[in-house]
């Protein structure tokens, strides 16, 4: 039984269709990220769930109840904004208590809940501060506490980490996830940062131009991108275009070399074009032994990234990136060195665009 | 001292002299009511005049009514324009600027034509209704100042996101207005209020043509019939206006940001 059901919602602004037939459901307690570039419609979907935008078509149900026509203030959905949106005239404690006061909870209960929330976000001593006296990270934690204080059915996070610097972003990301797990609250998280989505989510909905490109776990999205867009948007990917020579045995010709794809090309025929997708970490330098695919090229560039070294190799007209772990015993090859690249037959084949 | 700094001081001194000298002269003249000595006799006469107290009180009350009405009209309007009707912003700004372009005498003649005792809405038919008409007129007169200050105040906060944050916490429109928006534009509303007070307290045209016992017509009457008292009144009116400006400065001052590492 799904907890959140978004059934075929659409949103148009005049002639422009921002969201096309968005169909998705999430389980209770699930952490789902809406991932995509700016303008792909992910925030619009979130705002339709929150009630800030009214869908042109379709329905939104929460805990089995259709909330599509309810105003935002009756949906009982907590929201955290990119710009924090703390009330500047209220202290931290008053901000957290705001929703509880609206709900006319007794003063004693409000005080206890505010204390709980301050402890939850690890800011127990800052209740009397005003928002302008807090750092960005602290403000966002207070915004999270304020959204959770009213015990909402669901939590919506609209790029809550985008305005923070890198180190705080990672720390707060982990904190959000740990709070979400602790409370078991169903969460929809909007981000354009693929690393953020991959590290925090139970499932990811990748969106492009108002449509869902793929729904899957971070593992599936990263390792089995279904479309060219997902492949290019999530992580670094090498795309090898070629022509199928034998669909049954999975043989394909790329730059005059025959490669083998495990599982073959069930939807393809000999002579059809096909695109293979390879992550940088799936490729190694060296012959790789029997049963591996091979490509020859020259090292064009070596980028040192700390624990990982990214090597770019030119194979005919295409550039292939591969990652290898940094090792003091084996320094990376020099620029211009001829190398053989190898990778296994377990290669992702992209569906035609 | 650098040449440019010196030139700056010269220009400042010239400007200050230009503005302050007439004021000092007026003040000095207001102290010469008793022959051969300086005294506050003119002020004493003015403050002892029952008509002064009555007209000042009348204008002060009218100014407060104008401020309340103006805030009730302007704050929700500026809020809605920012939140829901941004495409109407240009039109609303144009309308709010009209009182600066259309002379007060034209507006008041329009009122007299529309609301005279034989019209369909005879607001000039009774004292209470005429007082209300005067207050509405003053709201119009103060609109450019009130709207601009409130709109600037709203620009300083993220009205849309704050509204949505409050909505997501279950707040109704009235709660959002009273507990989120108004407290955060309070200093702007107060600045508009003090400007309105300063305008209304000395306004002459509306009050005179609508035959209301306001402070403006009283000032004119004194000016036409007395020698020293008008100077004292001018200084009092300046002080009231300056007090309003000072209050704008105090309430308009922003809180300093404290960064917590």
Average pLDDT, chain B: 89
- Whether residue A73 and residue B167 make contact (CB cut-off 8 A), yes or no, is yes
Predicted confidence at residue B21, as pLDDT, reads 93
With 50 as the cut, is the pLDDT of residue B48 above it? yes
Verify whether the Cβ–Cβ distance B171 to A132 is below 8 Å. Answer: no
- State the pLDDT confidence band at B118, using cuts at 50, 70 and 90: confident
Nearest to B64 by CA among B201, B174, B239, B208: B201
- Quote the pLDDT of residue A351: 66
pLDDT value of position B194: 86
A positions 115-144 inside 8 Å of B (CB): 129-130, 132-135, 138, 143
State the pLDDT confidence band at A130, using cuts at 50, 70 and 90: very high
With an 8 Å Cβ cutoff, are B164 and A71 in contact?
Answer: no
Mean pLDDT of A82-104: 94
Is the per-residue pLDDT at A68 higher than 80?
yes
Using pLDDT thresholds of 50, 70 and 90, give the confidence band for residue A45.
very high
CA–CA separation, B219 vs A162, rounded Å?
60
Q: What is the pLDDT of residue A141?
A: 92
Instruction: Write down the pLDDT at residue A167.
Output: 84
Establish if A94 touches chain B: CB-CB under 8 angstroms.
no
Beta bridge partners of A156: A79, A188
The pLDDT of residue A335 is above 50: yes
Tens of pLDDT, residues A300-310: 999 988 888 99
Both structure tokens of B89:
């912003």
Average pLDDT estimate for A82-103: 94
- Would the pLDDT of B133 be above 90? yes
pLDDT higher than threshold 50 for residue B124:
yes
Cβ contact A133–B258 (<8 Å): yes
Under an 8 A CB cutoff, do B158 and A72 touch? no
Residue B259: per-residue pLDDT: 31
The answer on pLDDT for A209 being more than 90 is yes
With CB atoms and an 8 Å threshold, state whether B157 touches A150: no
Per-residue pLDDT at B260 exceeds 80: no
Give Cα separations from A2 to A27, A29, A49, A68, A77 (angstroms).
5, 10, 15, 16, 16
* pTM for this entry: 0.79
Find the CB nearest B184 among A75, A89, A150: A89
Write down the ipTM of this complex: 0.83
Q: Give the pLDDT confidence score for residue B25 in this predicted structure.
A: 94
- Contact between A78 and A147 under an 8 Å Cβ cutoff? The reply is yes
pLDDT at B190 (0 to 100)? 87
Mean pLDDT for the stretch of residues A174-199: 93
| A155 neighbourhood in chain B, CB within 8 Å | none
Residue B198's pLDDT band, with cuts at 50, 70 and 90, is confident
At residue B253, the pLDDT reads: 60
How far, CA to CA in Å, does A200 sit from each of A164, A177, A236, B57?
A: 17, 6, 19, 66
Q: Where do we find the tokens 């038919």? A: B125
- Residue B245: closest CA among B168, B145, B126: B145
- Segment A52-63 shows an average pLDDT of 95
Out of A73, A88, A133, closest to residue B172 by CB:
A73
pLDDT at B179: 92
The shortest C-alpha distance from B72 to chain A (Å) reads 21
Q: Nearest 5°: phi and psi at B184?
A: -85, -10
The predicted-structure confidence for B200-234, as pLDDT tens digits, reads as follows 988 999 999 999 999 999 989 988 888 899 999 98
Name which of A274, A267, A226 is nearest A252 in CA terms: A274
Give the pLDDT of residue B1. Answer: 61
Using the Cα atoms of residue B3, residue B9, residue B13 and residue B19 in order, give the sign of their dihedral.
positive
What pLDDT score was predicted for residue B187? 85
Substitution target from A13, A54, A98 for chain B, most B beta carbons within 10 A: A98
Q: What is the CA radius of gyration of chain A?
A: 25
At B257 the pLDDT is 35
CA–CA dist B4, A97 (Å, integer): 56
Mean pLDDT, residues B141-147: 93
Q: Summarize the confidence of residues A166-188 as an average pLDDT.
A: 91
Q: How confident is the model at residue B261 (pLDDT cuts 50, 70, 90)?
A: very low
> Which CATH superfamily, name and number, covers B48-251?
MetI-like (1.10.3720.10)
Full DSSP string of B53-97: HHHHHHHHHHHHHHHHHHHHHHHHHHHHHHHT-GGGHHHHHHHHH
- In chain A, residues with a C-beta closer than 8 Å to the C-beta of B166 are 87, 98
Residue B117 or B8, more confident: B8
Contact A89 B183 (CB under 8 A): yes
Res A205: pLDDT:
97
């Amino acid at each position: 039984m799904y907890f959140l059901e978004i059934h075929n919602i659409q949103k148009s602004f005049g002639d422009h269709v921002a969201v096309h037939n968005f169909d998705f459901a999430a389980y209770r307690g699930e952490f789902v990220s809406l991932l995509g570039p700016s303008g792909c419609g992910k925030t619009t979907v979130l705002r339709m769930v929150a009630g800030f935008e009214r869908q042109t078509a379709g329905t939104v149900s929460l805990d089995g109840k259709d909330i599509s026509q309810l105003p935002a203030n009756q949906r009982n959905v907590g929201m955290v904004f990119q710009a924090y949106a703390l009330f500047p005239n209220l202290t931290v404690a008053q901000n957290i208590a705001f929703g509880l006061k609206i709900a006319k909870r007794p003063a004693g209960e409000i005080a206890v809940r505010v204390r709980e929330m301050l402890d939850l976000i690890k800011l127990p001593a800052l209740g009397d501060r005003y928002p302008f006296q807090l750092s960005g990270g602290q403000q966002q934690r207070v915004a999270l506490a304020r959204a959770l204080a009213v015990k909402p059915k669901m939590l919506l996070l609209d790029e809550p980490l985008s305005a923070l610097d890198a180190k705080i972003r990672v720390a707060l990301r982990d904190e959000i996830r740990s709070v979400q797990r602790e409370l078991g609250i169903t969460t929809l998280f909007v981000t354009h940062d693929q690393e953020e989505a991959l590290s925090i989510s139970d499932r990811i909905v990748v969106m492009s131009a108002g449509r869902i490109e793929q729904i899957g776990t971070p593992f599936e999205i990263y390792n089995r991108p279904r479309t060219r867009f997902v492949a290019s948007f999530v992580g670094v990917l090498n795309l090898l275009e070629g022509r199928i020579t034998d669909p049954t045995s999975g043989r394909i010709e790329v730059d005059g070399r025959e490669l083998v794809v495990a599982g073959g090309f069930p939807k393809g025929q000999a002579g059809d074009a096909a695109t293979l997708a390879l992550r940088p970490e799936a490729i190694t330098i060296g012959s790789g032994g029997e049963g591996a695919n091979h490509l020859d090229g020259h090292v064009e560039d070596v980028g040192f990234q700390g624990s990982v070294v990214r090597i770019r190799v030119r194979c005919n007209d295409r550039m292939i990136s591969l990652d290898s772990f940094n090792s003091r015993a084996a320094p990376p090859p020099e620029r211009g060195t001829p190398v053989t690249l190898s990778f296994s037959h377990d290669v992702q084949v992209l569906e035609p665009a | 001292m650098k040449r440019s700094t010196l030139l700056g001081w010269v220009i400042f001194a010239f400007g200050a002299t230009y503005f302050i000298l007439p004021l000092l002269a007026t003040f000095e003249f207001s102290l010469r009511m008793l022959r051969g000595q300086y005294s506050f006799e003119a002020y004493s006469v003015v403050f002892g005049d029952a008509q002064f107290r009555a007209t000042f009180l009348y204008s002060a009350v009218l100014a407060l009514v104008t401020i309340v009405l103006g805030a009730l009209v302007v704050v929700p309007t500026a809020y809605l324009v920012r939140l829901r009707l941004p495409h109407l912003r240009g039109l609303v700004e144009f309308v709010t600027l009209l009182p600066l372009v259309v002379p007060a005498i034209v507006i008041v003649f329009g009122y007299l034509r529309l609301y005279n005792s034989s019209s369909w809405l005879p607001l000039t038919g009774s004292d209470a209704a005429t007082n209300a008409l005067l207050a509405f007129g003053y709201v119009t007169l103060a609109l450019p100042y009130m709207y601009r200050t409130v709109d600037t105040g709203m620009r300083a906060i993220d009205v849309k996101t704050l509204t949505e944050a409050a909505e997501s916490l279950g707040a109704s429109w009235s709660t959002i207005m009273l507990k989120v928006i108004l407290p955060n534009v309070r200093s702007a509303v107060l600045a508009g209020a003090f400007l309105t007070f300063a305008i209304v307290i000395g306004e002459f045209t509306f009050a005179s043509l609508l035959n209301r016992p306001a402070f403006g017509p009283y000032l004119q009457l004194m000016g036409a019939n007395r020698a020293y008292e008008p100077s004292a009144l001018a200084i009092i009116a300046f002080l009231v206006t300056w007090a309003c400006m000072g209050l704008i400065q105090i309430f308009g001052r922003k809180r300093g940001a404290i960064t917590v590492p």
